[in-house]
Amino acid sequence: MVVLDYPIVLDGEEALDARGRPLTHAAFYGRVRAGATPSTAAIPIPVYASAFRSAAEQGRPAVLVGLSAALSGTFDRALTARDLVLEDVPDAEIHAIESLNASIALGVLMLEAARRVRDGLDTAGLLAWLEPARTSVNGYFTLEMLEHLRLGGRISDVAAMAGMVLDIKPVLRIDGHGGLVIAEKLRGRRKSMKALADVVEKRGVDPSAQTVLIGRGSRAAQAVASSRPTSRSAP
């Protein structure tokens, strides 16, 4: 499996990738708490194209599972890169699948996919599995503060201010279209964290056969994603 890093920019300079480079995660969050403003940059088309060409040169199929298009324009760049490579290498086998997920919700989907490939699933089987599986991931998270939702345009200035005054800690989820929606609005950190635990209890079907990932920033765990439930929560 090849991971294409989604660059994170801090005050205009590339600061972090998925593996904590060049800044460590601790240093990154320290600067954010000190007032630095983070943003994201889409994966460049040449990066996608290089990965596709490498697979084609090795005579191997490429299956890209990309970030939800509802949350980022980077998946469209992957499609452009695929088409450019196919112009030069028409017989290359390149598949680009929109995951309809992000963050650890995408991560848990990839862990399940990797497990199946390791067990011998071929490309056709993997694609057939991914289509329904991507809508069977439950990705939920909560935030300690609403400022970054406001900066990202997810909520208005008024909503962010009201949330701060009332100590609102929303629980958000990724819906069946890959978009971000508010699942609950709760007052207080303890209630929002308990709500995440309740998601696992309510939506788990066979815990011994399911995978649950817990993600966090630099504080206590703030997100949970599970695989193989009966269905994702309704859009």
pLDDT at residue 9 in the model: 82
- Measure the CA dihedral 68/73/74/76, to 10°: 90
Of the chain, the end-to-end C-alpha distance in Å amounts to 30
pLDDT at residue 133 in the model: 93
From CA 25, how far away is CA 27, in angstroms rounded? Answer: 5
Whether residue 69 lies inside any domain: the answer is no
pLDDT at residue 112 in the model: 92
From CA 193, how far away is CA 43, in angstroms rounded? Answer: 32
Which amino acid is located at 100 in the chain? L
**Neighbouring C-beta atoms of residue 6, cutoff 10 Å:** 16
pLDDT at residue 235 in the model: 36
Number of domains the chain contains: 2
pLDDT at residue 189 in the model: 85
> For the chain, which ranges sit under pLDDT 70?
16-21, 145, 147-148, 151-162, 165-166, 218-235
171 in Cβ contact with 183 (< 8 Å): yes
From CA 51, how far away is CA 64, in angstroms rounded? Answer: 10
* Domain, as residue range, for 23: 8-40
Whether residue 53 lies inside any domain: the answer is no
pLDDT at residue 148 in the model: 67
* Model confidence, pTM: 0.80
